[in-house]
Amino acid sequence: MNDTNEKKPESNNRPDPKLKNNKPRFSYYWIYALLAVLIIGLQLMNWNTTVKNIGWGELKEMILNQEVERLVLVNKEFAEVFIKKDKLALEKFKDVRPGEGFGSTRPQYVYNIGSVETFEKDVSDIQQDFEKPVYIENLTRRNVWGDALSWILPVLLLIGAWFFIMRMMSRGAGGGGQIFNIGKSKAQLFDKDTHVNINFNDVAGLEEAKVEIMEIVDFLKNPKKYTTLGGKIPKGALLVGPPGTGKTLLAKAVAGEAKVPFFSLSGSDFVEMFVGVGASRVRDLFKQAKEKAPCIIFIDEIDAIGRARGRNQITGANDERENTLNQLLTEMDGFATNAGVIILAATNRADILDRALLRAGRFDRQIHVELPDLEERKAIFKVHMKPLKFDESIGVDFLSKQTPGFSGADIANVCNEAALIAARRNKTEISKQDFLDAIDRIIGGLEKRNKIISPQEKKVIAFHEAGHAAVSWLLQYAHPLVKVTIVPRGKALGAAWYLPEERQITTYEQMFDELVATLGGRASEDVVFGKISTGALNDLEKVTKQAYAMVVYFGLNKEIGNVSYYDSTGQQEYSFSKPYSEATAQLIDTEIKKIVEKAYLRAKEILTENRDKLEDLASILLKKEVIFREDLEAIFGKRPFEESHEFNGQNGPSDKPGQGSDAGTPPIEPQPEGQEQPDENQ
């Protein structure tokens, strides 16, 4: 038996909240029912005392006919008219005949008087000649029920409101965000009653991360295996990686595998407009977790509250976010013991987190979840293609090679988009072309064939894209071309697709050739038309960033030397000054311009030497709108050097989509090269 099972009797010693629910409790609805009965009863009494109103003419006729037995003046406001019992048998009194019991004492009519003196005088004048006149009785009547309710009802309402408020305040975190629950934790609890259907089998491509995470789960399931050797359970683990790589999915799998209570919430759930709410929610979260230990707390996007302290002094020293972070630090590793409580957190901005949060004892492990490589993409495709109906000839090997730099979320989007495209085409199964079109759409956006473009603009776009294709074809280190199109797609008026190598390091020669290929579009416009346009905005932006990275970050410039001004901690973005002097900044600008101009002249040189082939390629592009690798081979011949990796070329209208025209641009931060957007002609 493991320690988890041994702890169960201890947990049973604590009072079971379910037992409290079995005890009879006073229901406040009885108060509401009593008030309702009281009001209905009063209404019925008022109904029973309701009589018919008459005017002075009718009353005068009754008095003259000697049909009135009594006249009672009530509170000097109205007169109650009682008819003689022997006269009630007449036909005209059939609607006012008294009933049995309580109703027999009520008057038959009511007359609203104006002046008491006038009413008494008129009645006296009518009965001057009568032997037995009807005398007016004066009566002062008090409404006991009305007087009682005038002071009882407000008291009852206040008591009812007080009970209602107390009941709202006593509720837990559920109930949807009432103001009285503002300090309660918003964490969603997953336990045996709310089972999560995701397990580690649903998580593909994260083998190293799964090993470390599974060790935490195994500790919760079999703690004795580790405690016998003197080991202690890790306090927390931080999942770090780019967006869409599966950090949250990995946490869901932990919730499904651990079989222990799992609290899930976002970092923004702690943040509120009221002061002190974030810290209160942290305290309430850990209070609930301790009661259900052993358990796991998962905080998604922890950078919402975990930013380094002291960076926003302009907004004031008493920052609510900092207070929340301080309380979190205290709860994770303070004087209080959190035995059996493990914290998982996820972020894609680990560089901005507070150092105190990342130290050992709080987050003992940082698990890096990177973009999947070729083999991992195969596994991810297999998972997401399970529910799809697709052509069996489609291989995951082929699809995984077409999606370098794609994250797990991107691959899931590809599979879903392919299914939608196939359904739009009324197919019974998804074909290879549907997957390729889905990749195209995700990379470049939706085709806009109805966009109005003048013939001259179309010609410029064609030569621009042909320049990219020609230069990249004739350069040794440029990425293999897939296709070129002048059909507007997304924001781009034309695009060239490439399939980049999946390499971890890049040499100066490789980066320089990529600069040359990127400037091939503008160089083509300059060579053919003798003037340039604004269509190379996207190219220039990428070239500038890449040249800056070569000089400032990667140390690939002889004048600057083997130095790097890159700050991996992320502190540099909060600094108001550059990490180098003004003289160095001027030198950096000069060297960046030299590199870009050298690449531009190299592109013009290549295109000038192959002017006739460039025009042939542009004419074919204007005619077909989309050209492929085979079209370039027919014009330029085979590439004059061996490619570093195998190309799986296939023919088709949207075949082999891959990188954009500026693919292979090294990122500003040292990380594996990823998928980039097609070249834009603005």
Q: Are 123 and 134 in contact (CB under 8 A)?
A: yes
Alpha helical stretches, state H, 115-243: 116-126, 144-170, 207-221, 224-227
Four-CA torsion 198, 201, 204, 207, nearest 10 degrees: 110
Please name the residue that has the structure tokens 């593909």: 204
Residue 440, phi then psi, degrees to nearest 5: -55, -45
Residue 174, phi then psi, degrees to nearest 5: -75, 180
Tokens describing residue 335: 């004087």
Three-point CA angle 548, 549, 554, nearest 5°: 130
Q: How many CA atoms lie within 13 A of 226 on its CB side?
A: 14
Pairwise CA distance, residues 175 & 116, whole Å: 61
Q: What is the DSSP letter of 44?
A: H
Question: Any idea which residues carry the catalytic annotation?
Answer: 465
Amino acid at the residue 150: S
Tokens describing residue 337: 């013991």
Helix and strand totals (H; E) in the chain:
24, 14
What letters, b where the CB count within 10 A reaches 16 and e where it falls short, cover 397-411? ebbbbbbbbbbbbbb
Pairwise CA distance, residues 42 & 281, whole Å: 49
Three-point CA angle 84, 90, 95, nearest 5°: 90
Pairwise CA distance, residues 298 & 580, whole Å: 41
